[in-house]
Amino acid sequence: MSAHVSDLTASLLAGWGPGTVSPWIAAVWGVYVLVLALWIVRQRREPVATLAWLLALAWLPVLGWAVYWWLGPQRIRRRRLKRQRARSAFHRAPLPRPGEMVADGRERLIEASTGVAPTQACRVDLITGGESTFEALFSAIAAARHSIHLEYYIFEPDSVGTRLRDLLAARARAGVAVRLLLDGLGSRRCSPRFLAPLSAAGAEVAWFHPLRLGHLVWRPTLNLRTHRKIAVIDGRIGFTGGVNISDSQSERASAAAFHDLHLRMEGEVVSALQLAFAEDWHYATGRLLTAAADWPPQPPGGIRCQLVPSGPDNPLAPIHRLYVDALHTARQRVWMMTPYFVPDAAVLLALTSAALRGLDVRLLLPNRNDSRVVRAAARSFYPELLAAGVRVFEFQPRMLHGKALLVDGDTAIIGSANVDPRSFWLNFELSVLFRDTAVAAALERRIAADLAQSAVVPPGWQPGGWRAYADSFARLLAPVL
């Protein structure tokens, strides 16, 4: 039997020898690989990513091309132009600009990479949990007199989504301008039938990268989603953070609802939030929001903050740069909260370096995760984090969904971005940088309360048995998670 297998193997290998390949096929394949290499290398991506794409496309021409067409970086370059046109339209519009402030180094980094200057807020509320967020949001919407602008990644046609839809329809019938921008993938369950009451009431509904057949075939955008959660009421009250419109985030609907963090803000920062929505709205619909009523004068405030929009249209990756800069320049402590932790080399180096410098570095992650692959990938980083002195905590009661970074006693970063390649490079995200001791203290209390409900991963922890292999294989997928 063994000899028979050996003979069969030898015959197969001989059949695939150089003599069986047509010179024309070899020549065409050689030209194909050369052109391919010149094209991909010209894009100046990370060396590992460039080599991976080149090998995939060279050895799997048909399948490789399909994967590259759907998931590759070329679509990001083509989309960037339309996003830039949307932004330039607002730069030409006579919109009020926030008060001039002298930026420090970190704020200059954000302004240089986003074009968004530091500004102020007169009120900032940190809201814990989905139902508390819905209560504050629905109350503000019910009191709206002029406009309601909402942008969400996930808007489910469940009890929470129905409550909000009916409330929006009621305000639209009362003469309030309602504009709802939904992500085509995250909100794909919102059918035309479910949204019909909004349109009938006079509200405008638009889709960010809709999942129509033509879009999927000719303009595949599965990775280029708006992960932002934005609500601006009458141009004066703004909401952003991690809470989507879904029963999965409502404690009223489920005892296992995601444990999340959201922001309610007033002051000049709301104009910056309105601008982020307006750019996305113009990008999706081609319509400008330049009416004076949409940009009211804002009350002064003493809470220093700065909006940080990020997305695949911006090669400078502002949120990624902000995280790395904050970690490297921290002086006493770094407390990080994120549901999806798949750090790249820069973030991992910055985190471990902060711990090696003797700082109080704590990483809060969920014990229960809605993605087993992401959880396994996150755990693959535990040994090197623990070895450097990072204290890792796993939140026990429910799925932790808040996204925040606390640095020292005066810096807080809160928003929609996770610590993973998808948030840093592929999705449109939005964070808020606060340089304020009161906001930092509020975030400290929130994280401390969550740490009290978390299990500490012991120093020296190592995965055992089959889990070690599962975690390692999951880590191989880190660049695409």
Extract long-range pairs of 212-217: CB within 8 Å, 24+ residues apart.
Answer: 215/184
β-strand pairing of 237-241 with 230-233: antiparallel
Catalytic residue among 183, 280, 313, 408: 408
**Which residue in the list 403, 420, 436, 471 is annotated as catalytic?**
403
Q: Is 259 a catalytic residue?
A: no
DSSP 195-222: HHHHHHHT-EEEEES---HHHHHHS--T
DSSP secondary structure string for all residues of 256-319: T--B-EEEEEESTHHHHHHHHHHHHHHHHHS-----GGGS-------EEEEEEEE-TT-TT-HH
Residue 202 makes CB contacts below 8 A (sequence gap 6+) with 172, 173, 178
CB atoms within 10 A of CB 188: 14
Return the CA Rg of the chain: 25
Alpha carbon distance 310, 477 (integer Å): 23
Residue type, 164: L
Question: Pick the catalytic residue: 149, 183, 209, 234?
Answer: 234
Q: Which helix (H) or strand (E) holds 472?
A: helix 466-476
- The type of residue at 366 is P
Map residue 104 onto helix, strand or coil. Answer: coil
82 has catalytic annotation: no
**H helix and E strand count, the chain:** 18, 16
Identify whether 209 is a catalytic site residue: no
On whether the CB atoms of residues 456 and 443 are closer than 8 A, the answer is: no
Helix, strand, coil percent content, the chain, rounded in steps of 5: 50, 20, 30
Tell me whether residue 53 is exposed, middle or buried, using C-beta atoms within 10 angstroms of its C-beta: 0 to 12, 13 to 18, 19 or more.
buried
Respond yes or no: is residue 158 known to be catalytic.
Answer: no
Residue 292, classified by CB atoms within 10 Å of its CB into exposed (0-12), middle (13-18) or buried (19+), is exposed
Q: To 5 degrees, how large is the angle CA 235–CA 237–CA 241? A: 115
Beta strand residue intervals within 21-146, DSSP E: 119-121, 123-128
Q: How far is CA 300 from CA 112, 121, 156, 246, in A?
A: 24, 7, 37, 34
Given 149, 209, 227, 320, the catalytic residue: 227
Q: Which of 209, 229, 259, 282 is catalytic?
A: 229
Cα(274)–Cα(231) distance, rounded to whole angstroms? 8
> Strands 391-395 and 333-337: what pairing?
unpaired
Residues noted as catalytic: 227, 229, 234, 401, 403, 408
